[in-house]
């Protein structure tokens, strides 16, 4: 009887030790969180990679010889836009389901001011139906030599506010960025909207004209350097 009693005590002690050990969290394992319980649960912000943004590609893109003045280059681009518009019907006055904006850059004319690096832009808009952002605007064409010494590069883009027709648009901020170590001297960077570019009758204009006169440069091939300007002027109305 004594032996059986001792065995029972021993068994009880072992069982308690096993229960205590099973309640402890093993080293190196994360504590389980029931995310179905919304109390005190906060989701971390999600970092969006550059290539996950929807790309905005130009509908028209031209470069002009450095020997041309800004006025001459702008006039030629205006003529090209007129030809483009002839292929697009206009809509009724009072609203538009799309709008067109321009980007123009001037590269410095001195040694090493040009670049072969990848360039992107971002433009933010205010409208009567809310804000809109074109975050990943393409400023590269493989078949065209862009950002050469003293060269003007012009781009025309089309964008829209999904599911909405707007009565007015205003540019609120714009940014340009360069990837890689091949530096680029940005003399001028302009973002603007004018009435004659639109496919619906419009009046007014909105713009951000900047004169950075800075080098964009990154210490590694995959890094980005950027220039941004906030605070647009004017309003384009449909």
Q: What is the DSSP string of 4-34?
A: HHHHHHHHHHHHHHHHHHHHSPPTT-PPP--
* Residues linked to residue 12 through DSSP beta bridges, in sequence order: none
Hey, what domains does the chain have and what are their CATH numbers? 52-237 (2.60.60.20)
Extract the tokens encoding 74: 């702008």
Enter the pTM of the model: 0.76
Beta-carbon neighbour count of residue 203 at 10 Å?
A: 11
Is 202 exposed, middle or buried, given 0-12, 13-18 or 19+ CB atoms closer than 10 A?
A: buried
Q: Is 129 helix (H, G, I), strand (E, B) or coil?
A: coil
* pLDDT tens over the chain, length 238 residues: 334 445 454 445 444 444 444 444 433 332 222 223 333 322 232 223 344 457 899 999 999 988 899 999 999 999 999 988 887 666 667 789 999 999 999 999 999 999 999 999 999 999 999 999 999 999 987 777 899 999 999 999 999 999 999 999 999 999 999 999 999 999 999 999 999 999 899 999 999 999 999 999 999 999 999 999 999 999 999 9
Q: What is the pLDDT of residues 46-80, one digit of tens each?
A: 223 344 457 899 999 999 988 899 999 999 999 99
- E runs forming strands in 78-183: 99-107, 118-127, 130-138, 152-159, 168-179
Q: What is the pLDDT of residues 204-220, one digit of tens each?
A: 999 999 999 999 999 99
For residue 128, give the DSSP letter: T
Q: Cα 112 to the chain's mean position, in Å?
A: 27
């Amino acid at each position: 009887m004594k032996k059986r009693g001792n065995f029972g005590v021993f068994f009880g002690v072992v069982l308690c030790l096993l229960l205590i050990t099973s309640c402890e969290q093993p080293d190196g394992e994360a504590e389980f969180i029931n995310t179905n319980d919304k109390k005190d649960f906060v989701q971390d912000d999600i970092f969006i990679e550059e290539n996950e943004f929807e790309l905005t590609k130009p509908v028209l893109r031209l470069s002009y010889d450095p020997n041309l003045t800004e006025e001459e280059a702008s006039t030629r681009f205006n003529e090209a836009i007129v030809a483009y518009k002839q292929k697009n019907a206009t809509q009724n006055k009072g609203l538009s389901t799309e709008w067109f904006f321009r980007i123009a850059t001037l590269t410095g004319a001195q040694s090493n001011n040009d670049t072969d690096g990848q360039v992107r832009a971002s433009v933010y808009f205010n409208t009567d139906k809310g804000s809109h952002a074109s975050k990943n605007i393409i400023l590269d064409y493989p078949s065209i030599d862009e950002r050469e010494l003293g060269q003007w590069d012009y781009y025309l883009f089309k964008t829209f506010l999904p599911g909405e027709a707007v009565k007015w648009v205003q540019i609120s901020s714009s940014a340009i960025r360069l990837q890689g170590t091949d530096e680029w001297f940005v003399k001028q960077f302009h973002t603007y909207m004018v009435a004659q570019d639109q496919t619906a009758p419009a009046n007014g204009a909105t713009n951000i004209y900047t004169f950075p006169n800075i080098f964009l440069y990154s210490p590694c091939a995959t890094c980005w350097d950027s220039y941004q300007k906030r605070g647009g002027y004017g309003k384009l109305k449909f």
